[in-house]
Amino acid sequence: MTQLFTKDTQAIFWNNNKTAIQRMLDYDYTINRKTPSVAAIVAPTSNNKFERFFMGTDEVMIPLFKTTADAKSTHPSADVLLNFGSFRTAYDVTMEAMDIGGFSTIMVTAEGIPERLARKMNNRARTQGVNVIGPATVGAISPGAFKIANIGGTIENIINSKLHRAGSCGLVTRSGGLFNELGNIISINADGIAEGVAIGGDRFVGSVFIDNLLRMEKNPEVKYMVLLGEVGGTEEYKIIDAMKSGEITKPIIGWCIGTIAKHFSSDVQFGHAGASANADAETAATKNKAMADAGMYVPKSFNDLPAMIKKVYEELKAKGEIEEIIEKELKTIPKVRRTKEFICTISDDRGDECTYAGFPISSVATPETGKGIGDVISLLWFKKQYPKWATQFIETVMKTVADHGPAVSGAHNAKVTARAGKSVVEALVTGLLTIGPRFGGAIDGAAKYFKYADDNNLTPAEFLNYMKKEGVPIPGIGHRIKSLKNPDLRVEGLKKFAKEYFPSTPLLDYALTVEQLTTSKKENLILNVDGTIGILMVDMWRALNYPEFEIDEFVESGTLNSFFIVGRSIGFIGHILDEKRLAMPMYRHPMDDIFYDVQEAEEV
């Protein structure tokens, strides 16, 4: 890896630090990134689905997840983890991320992680080839591409320090505050930085000076490097050895702060945990002399550092190694921004033609497109283009549930209301209001309970016992008329379709083993149409590679019952129109069909 970040880099942000995230998105807007640099936020204690932020004047929604694993599975290309956990949780969060895999860089802001744990964390990262920045860091930046959280300060300071576009200097420091100061110094005396990392102030950090300088040595955008070390530790000597061996050939301007320590009569602990000299070799003065002897550009004092940077920059520019940068016009962050009252993520009517999930209506609505209502539902309900077998299954489900005669409660209500002279809409609503746990609800219930049994590897007998203890009849099992000898042809049709077109049907296969056990007790305890639909919906989503938590959300939110609602609306409307076509009179229930048991009221 020669370049730390690119304009396509995306991060998962652990802990919902809204200010830091907004600063990243303001930077994205300023440098004209196409996609937000934050793909997802892990907020274990939040019940929200997303958080809203600004990209310029427009708002963007960043999804929230309970776990890093869920965020990573949904956003696999996000290969940076920004760990803003406290020192109590930061170690566990980082180790879990390395267990999950797929992260090239992990930044840890927490200060004061126990040193034993920090060493263990850093060793694990090196073994796995993961670049850990920190602990106790403000992060890193690839100007014009990607910046971590608060590094560089406010957007105004970033622009003043020319951190909005790549310069020619590679900057590595321990201190975050001095990183910002040096970024400004380099912008005044040179053309800015090409890449910068504040490695962190704790005694044991992940990527050390040599790791970053060796990468910058290979980065063609970096023409020279600035290293700001400090009193304590011996990491600077690794760079000296690399220069002597020829691994590093680019000019390095180096300085270790803390030279004042030599004037104290006893050891002094400076601000960082690692800023304390335990031997003469760890003092700032000794390290500065060693760096100068090795051929680094080392000023006499920190105050002379700006002049040294300007000298090296102008020498390289005179040789033609650094070219003049043409400054581009920047986007300006608006001073006043207003959040919108409503959010719509499924359709857009602002252009010449309304779109369904980004597709013009004409691209799905006209016959020549070959698209059906299943395609429209996949776009408007799930914001995805489902394959043909899945959209055909959705359509098959809705055709299957469209009607089940005039006697069921929903159709009966719709017919009675129509005969009262009410409109199609009013009559339809009365029918729809009957849909719930006892009418149509078995679809949701079957999906929920059969999925639970399958997820927990329950045998059919264990599943039956579990449902018995729950005191819940098994949703999707049982029929008033149909049985093994008189099967429901709707169920047979759905099973045949699934076996022919689905990639696999593991949950249906499991449900059929349960059916063998229930029908051995009573012939009509078969898998009914509601159960078959609910179970096959889960098989469909699994075949479409939805994560399990998202399928669970579909089940809990009533998505499955929505197919029943849409399908049965067709039948209800049919019954309503039938009543109106026949000009049927007001309905009154026959008295001989009512059991009257009215007692004389007791006097109080």
- Residue 229 contacts residue 256 (beta carbons within 8 Å): yes
Catalytic center residues: 272
- Residue 173 contacts residue 107 (beta carbons within 8 Å): no
Say how far apart CA 516 and CA 523 lie, in whole Å: 10
* Joined tokens for residue 229: 């070390």
- Which neighbouring-strand residues pair with 436? 440
Amino acid at 143: P
SS3 105: strand
* Joined tokens for residue 65: 């997840």
Say how far apart CA 478 and CA 123 lie, in whole Å: 58
- CA neighbours closer than 13 Å in the CB half-sphere of residue 539: 27
The dihedral region occupied by 503, where left means phi > 0, alpha psi between -120 and 50, and beta the remainder, is alpha
Amino acid at 394: I
Say how far apart CA 101 and CA 141 lie, in whole Å: 23
* Joined tokens for residue 359: 């597709």
* φ, ψ (nearest 5 deg) of residue 72: -70, -40
Say how far apart CA 431 and CA 423 lie, in whole Å: 13
* DSSP line for 527-594: B-HHHHHHHHHHHHHHHTT--HHHHHHHHHHTHHHHHHHHHHHHHHHHHHHHHHHTT-------GGGS
Say how far apart CA 28 and CA 158 lie, in whole Å: 12
- CA neighbours closer than 13 Å in the CB half-sphere of residue 507: 26
- Which neighbouring-strand residues pair with 314? none
- Residue 568 contacts residue 435 (beta carbons within 8 Å): yes
**How distant, in Å, are the alpha carbons of 86, 106, 121, 198, 599 from that of 91?**
9, 11, 7, 19, 73
* φ, ψ (nearest 5 deg) of residue 477: -115, 130
* φ, ψ (nearest 5 deg) of residue 325: -95, 125
b/e for 330-358, b at 16 or more Cβ within 10 A? eeebeeeeeeeeeeeeeeeeeeeeebbbe
Map tokens 């083993």 to a residue: 513
* Joined tokens for residue 76: 């696999």
Say if residue 470 is exposed, middle or buried (CB neighbours under 10 Å; 0-12, 13-18, 19+).
Answer: exposed
Say how far apart CA 52 and CA 36 lie, in whole Å: 12
Amino acid at 121: M
- Which neighbouring-strand residues pair with 58? 55
